[in-house]
Amino acid sequence: MSLNFRQCSYGYRAGVPVLDDLSFEFPTGRTVLLGPNGAGKSTLLSLGASVRMPTSGTVTLGRLDIVRRRDRTRYRRHVGWLPQNVSPVPGLTVREQAAYGGWLKGLSRREAWDRSAKALGRVRLTQLAERRSHELSGGQLRRLGLAQTLIHDARVVLLDEPTAGLDPTQRRVFRDLVGELADDVSFIVSTHQTEDLADLYATVVVFDGGRALFHGSVAEFLRRAPCQVPAERRAEWAYHELVGKEV
């Protein structure tokens, strides 16, 4: 199932819409969402996660529409959400916090607890299951957040700047993890980082001003760069060719 925004609008203040009559469908698979600060990426993903409701239009996954109250519980069971900041829950162990995420998604306490072990295994946190979550490093806490998005068998996972603030080693571990999980789950990853696009993603979306400037394969995106640009900088140049002309 693909995530679909249809004639979708949203604004934080009256008269200043972040999204205005946006219609866009994300493909299944691995998609990277690029764009500058203020482009509307976080707003778009928070709507996709049903954290926020559109002021007009619809957000759907298959036949499930977040605007219809009766659909929201089922919709949220299919969509995982990892915001930019993952906070430890005071007093909970790593496994308890993973299970808590499943309970919030509608799992029973027993089912959430049983599934938490598998979810932690998928993000390589099994050995830290009994540690208090506030004792984790930044990279480990981000992986715990990912476990919380996977515990209810989401079909689509939305990641908002998942490697922001991590050191190079932590970023590599997280990118490797997303690459391993992508065979089972569709990912939409918002980021400023253009390296490793070809290794991690199948589709590139460049977003700015509340609209998609580009939507295509990684190869199509890289062809936007001038021919003389070295291979290791083609993604960076392709991004600036698209966004630089709009700002």
- Taking only the tens place, the pLDDT of each residue in 198-237 is 788 999 999 998 899 999 999 999 999 988 888 888 999 9
Q: Is the Cβ–Cβ distance between 34 and 73 less than 8 Å?
A: no
From CA 204, how far away is CA 213, in angstroms rounded? Answer: 11
Whose structure tokens read 């693909």? 2
- pLDDT for 118 equals 92
Token pair for 54: 């559109």
Q: Is 245 exposed, middle or buried (0-12, 13-18, 19+ CB in 10 A)?
A: exposed
From CA 56, how far away is CA 48, in angstroms rounded? Answer: 14
Token pair for 123: 């993000």
- pLDDT for 15 equals 67
Altogether, the residues listed in the chain come to a count of: 247
Q: Is the Cβ–Cβ distance between 193 and 205 less than 8 Å?
A: no
Q: Which of 120, 108, 109, 125 is nearest to 150 (CA)?
A: 120
- Map out the domains of the chain as residue ranges: 3-243
Q: What 3-state class would DSSP assign to 186?
A: strand
From CA 191, how far away is CA 28, in angstroms rounded? Answer: 18
Tens-place pLDDT, residues 166-182: 788 878 888 888 888 87
What values do phi and psi take at 10, rounded to 5?
-160, 140
From CA 126, how far away is CA 119, in angstroms rounded? Answer: 9
Query: Which CATH class, in words, describes the domain spanning 3-243?
Result: alpha beta
Contacts of 228 (CB under 8 A, 6+ apart): none
pLDDT below 50 — which residues of the chain? 246-247
- pLDDT for 247 equals 38
**What pTM value is reported for the model?**
0.89
Q: How far is CA 213 from CA 124, 178, 242, 244, in A?
A: 36, 25, 7, 11
Contacts of 193 (CB under 8 A, 6+ apart): 163, 171
From CA 9, how far away is CA 54, in angstroms rounded? Answer: 6
225-189-239 Cα angle (round to 5)? 15
| Helix H or strand E encompassing 152 | none
- Strand 203-208 and strand 30-34: pairing? parallel
